[in-house]
Chains A and B, each alone.
Chain A
């Protein structure tokens, strides 16, 4: 059974803290994504990676960075957390080079910045 696992379901952090959100997939997928989801705004792409050490900015990369040192792991980093980064964060993966590019999502991390 395919699986995308996010390290935490719920996280509470203080303003200014450095926050790491981890995502691991066991499907040998090339593509990995980080989204945030807010009411009324839907899923918005933060960063995308199509290969190890490769990354591309999405629609809202400001205040975030990513790391992909291994194919199965994609980390999202909030350099200095702010209250407007309180959100649901979703990691996803998909195959490269296939038309049937369904994305597999993790269970989500609900981050609250206080």
Chain B
């Protein structure tokens, strides 16, 4: 069955360091992968989309990589700030069309001042 794995344990990181979050998937061949941010009690907010033919995508302090051979995406936040503390979700296009995605369970990031 199709499966998405994100580290369920919280990631604690010192302010100013680079945070790296991992998204692994099995039994998928997604055309694209997305990353979202979710704050407590709120809906997810879209951050970045990366397509299968793109190795890397950047947006300000954010960087996403997509390795279709390893079936893995890495999400990096450079120069992390306490305001980056949130849960980060990856989402993959699912089979069946209609542009539906399946979400991972998310990784909680805590940036310590």
Residues in chain A within 8 A of chain B (CB atoms): 4, 31, 33, 35, 40-43, 45, 48, 50, 56, 58, 90, 92, 94, 96, 98-108, 110
Contacts and interface: CB of A to CB of B under 8 A. Distances in A.
A76 B51 CA distance: 32
Q: Which 7 A-B pairs have the closest CB atoms?
A: A105-B43, A42-B105, A102-B46, A43-B103, A101-B99, A42-B103, A108-B43
A45 B93 CA distance: 13
A interface secondary structure, majority: strand
Range class of the B interface residue count:
20 to 34
Interface in B21-63: 31-32, 34, 41-46, 49, 51
B49 A102 contact: yes
Contacts of B17: none
Given A99-B32, A99-B51, A106-B43, A48 B103 contact: no
A92 B106 contact: no
Given A43-B44, A103-B46, 5 more contacts: A33-B100, A35-B103, A41-B105, A90-B44, A104-B46
Contacts of A99: 31-32, 51
A53 to B, nearest CB: 15
A29 to B, nearest CB: 11
A56 B102 CA distance: 15
Question: Which of B91, B99, B104 has the most C-beta atoms of chain A within 10 angstroms of its own C-beta?
Answer: B99
B8 interface: yes
A31 B42 contact: no
Given A42-B104, A102-B34, A50 B98 contact: yes
Nearest to B8: A40
A31 B99 contact: yes
A13 B52 CA distance: 44
Nearest to A4: B43
B57 to A, nearest CB: 12
B19 interface: no
Question: Which of A48, A100, A101, A105 has the most C-beta atoms of chain B within 10 angstroms of its own C-beta?
Answer: A101
A105 B46 CA distance: 9
B89 A48 contact: no
